[in-house]
Amino acid sequence: MDDRGYIYELARRLGLSEFGAETVRALLWPLEILLILGVAGVVTRVGSRIVRRSVERLVARSQPLSDAVSANRAATLGGVAASLVRVAVWTVAALLVIDKFGVNPGPVLAGASIVGVALGFGAQSLVRDFLSGFFLLAEDQFGVGDVITVTDVTGTVEEVNLRVTRLRAADGTVWFVPNGEIRKVGNAAREWAVAIVDVSLPAGADVGTATAAIADELAALPEAEGIADAVLGAPEVLGVEAMGADGFTVRVSVKTKPNQRAGVARAVRARIGARLLRDGLVPLRPAGPAAADDG
């Protein structure tokens, strides 16, 4: 085929002179560019929509979109995938247009590769953050409202995007953790949690009687006002966890709803402490000097 393109070759085969074929090519050359741009626009629109819906359908299949958090995660991933399609299509279209202007795209690609490598070395941590964020969202490792532990930070997730995760610690401190720095994460807000409570008993206490009293108090826990909805299943007295010269430690386990572990543990301590004091199984703390004088 002639280097002057398909239109010139077609015109020549149709019997036009060299001048006529060159004239036709010159007249139709802008239409070729418009055609390339038009096809790129259609492919971008259709391809982006198909990819977006496919990704959202895939996310919905892995986890039903029953709340706004899951829907937002699916929309985020769908938007990222659609953006990748747009970049790929318009890159190809730009190379075709460059070729129509008579510029060899080879050196352009080589120069772009060199620039890309330079930028890659300078922004590799940023790229790592975006890739990690994509997989964090795709695998649904955690979401907004979850209580998670990342490295040495524990807090409630307030925002997750492709670059950074924002946590709110118990003391109100806001932590911004780059997604590329997340190597492992503990999520305390999935399915269920376990509240572990250690009850200290003095050395002279009757462990059997105290354990029976604790078990009796725990039996009423699933119906206790304020925490009944947070308790899943029957609480357990696991037995003596430790012993020493100062006394014994009895461990209690309560299965709870996610994010309800701390509140249930506090309620269990309060109820068991009150029961042991009421039954005389643990001594009252001695009063201060002023209180002793009043007596």
169: CATH: 2.30.30.60
| Mean pLDDT, range 139-161, rounded to an integer | 84
Total structural domains in the chain?
A: 3
- Confirm whether 62 is domain-assigned: yes
Q: Which residue has the higher pLDDT, 143 or 176?
A: 176
Model confidence at 111: pLDDT above 90: no
**Most confident range, picked from 9-18, 28-37, 74-83, 107-116:** 28-37
Q: Determine the pLDDT at residue 68.
A: 55
For residue 182, what are the domain limits? Answer: 141-187
Q: Determine the pLDDT at residue 132.
A: 85
Model confidence at 288: pLDDT above 90: no
- Confirm whether 239 is domain-assigned: yes
Model confidence at 7: pLDDT above 90: no
| Mean pLDDT, range 44-56, rounded to an integer | 84
Q: Residue 6: left if φ>0, alpha if ψ -120 to 50, beta else—which one?
A: alpha
- Confirm whether 133 is domain-assigned: no
Q: Determine the pLDDT at residue 263.
A: 87
Specify the CATH number for the domain of residue 72: 1.10.287.1260
Which pLDDT band holds residue 34 (cuts at 50, 70, 90)? Answer: confident
Of the listed ranges 185-189, 224-228, 250-254, 272-276, the one predicted with least confidence = 224-228
Indicate if 93 and 197 belong to the same structural domain: no
| Mean pLDDT, range 235-257, rounded to an integer | 88
Indicate if 18 and 112 belong to the same structural domain: yes
Indicate if 206 and 263 belong to the same structural domain: yes
Model confidence at 94: pLDDT above 80: yes
Indicate if 23 and 81 belong to the same structural domain: yes
Q: Which two tokens stand for residue 158?
A: 């307030």
Of the listed ranges 77-81, 172-176, 216-220, the one predicted with least confidence = 77-81
Indicate if 17 and 100 belong to the same structural domain: yes
Q: Determine the pLDDT at residue 283.
A: 72
Q: Which residue has the higher pLDDT, 218 or 62?
A: 218
Q: Determine the pLDDT at residue 18.
A: 72
Q: Determine the pLDDT at residue 177.
A: 92
Q: Which residue has the higher pLDDT, 4 or 38?
A: 38
Which tens digit of pLDDT belongs to each residue from 264-282? 899 889 989 888 888 887 7
Q: Of 68, 93, 122, at which residue does a domain stop? A: 122
Indicate if 167 and 198 belong to the same structural domain: no
Q: Determine the pLDDT at residue 65.
A: 47
CB burial of residue 231 (10 Å; 0-12, 13-18, 19+): buried
Indicate if 151 and 218 belong to the same structural domain: no
Model confidence at 136: pLDDT above 80: yes
Q: Determine the pLDDT at residue 107.
A: 66
Indicate if 149 and 105 belong to the same structural domain: no
